[in-house]
A and B are shown apart, each in its own frame.
Chain A
């Protein structure tokens, strides 16, 4: 009973709370990192160094008036943020945060579920989030959000192809769709896949930036052009849900990248015995550390680069990344067969 019901439920609860907290602090981190890059201080007022700022933000967003525009499609308008958020959270179920570990005397794997089509599951669930984007823009009954949501969905669909292609080459490397087995395969080879597949990682990362609408691909939310993007008309808690989903998606991208390319819970250089000292650090800490570094790169990129234009973005996606990804898959397949 405990094994089948209570443990998964507890895991889910811990995961949800963890993610929501992580999102809140990721927002703070983003503001802080940007501020440091831009010779500012960032939030400083709420709590020491603004550490309680997320709490204040959450309270503000919850108690703000929740406005539905006139002649908006009320049902769809309400549903859209939920549609965006749910896939972003559900994806975490298959991400392995660490190897089997003893937690309070119970030996358990540090993931909610290990399904044999894990990677495909992530891709397919993540592709559902697009509905929220499109419908949110459409239901607002306003031109700018509509334009932005069309952009967002076109962007998402085109970059999904490239990202999925890189995942295919990773599947070829690992010979499995299960997230746990992919990590184990890296352990068996004693090699993080990023060193075997740097191109795939690059494409995945760029595609991930584009899929989460991050700079330099933040066109759907380009406030200079579209005054805020598909959620322009949203306010209060529903806006908060969109916001939450965006940052949760960032974490998903970083966590999946960690699992696929950076050996998940493995320590650096898992094959070098001389570094065995590093094993003292538990696997999940390695995992979180790597995810954090990747997230930091997300923020860093945003503070540095200007924004692509819509057609340039599409050209980059279709004419550069997708051909590269397909070539990478072919080369990988040949290599896997030959070696």
Chain B
């Protein structure tokens, strides 16, 4: 879909209760979060040249920088995402004009259980960077379809698979699963067996329903 299409007014989307942005220190603070380690880059490694101007242009836009097997990852607070992304796309020294991938990872026990991962690529500079946004369950992320139209279907897929909403997405529908599907299969707590039509958000609910159906069968 083109960005030109009139976006759904944000008021049309059910908004979660407004929450203050996550404090910076929280990233490493909770004890032993089952999440990616997000290793800090080694001190002797040269940092990419766009990082310093970025931090200057958007102070507080990058809450953490991580480096692992050659990939740079910037962890960005949810409410700064659009700002940082626009800067990264438009500034000549970064020019991350190609949104290579957009996906999410579910780390359930963590308070901010979802990692939204944006894999960006710069065609002129031939290099990559990843942005990461942490979200609580039910929290909506800002849509980047206005920055990279390519993100349209990716965001739909994330919505379909994880149930993460995107504010400002022009056409947020399920994409791979049927329109009337219940639940979001890529969540870690999604039940792995049972009839798909009956699967509800709550597995216990589903168990109750199934037992009721079995009892009905015996009678």
- Does A touch B (CB under 8 Å) in the complex? no
Give the interface of B toward A (CB within 8 A): none
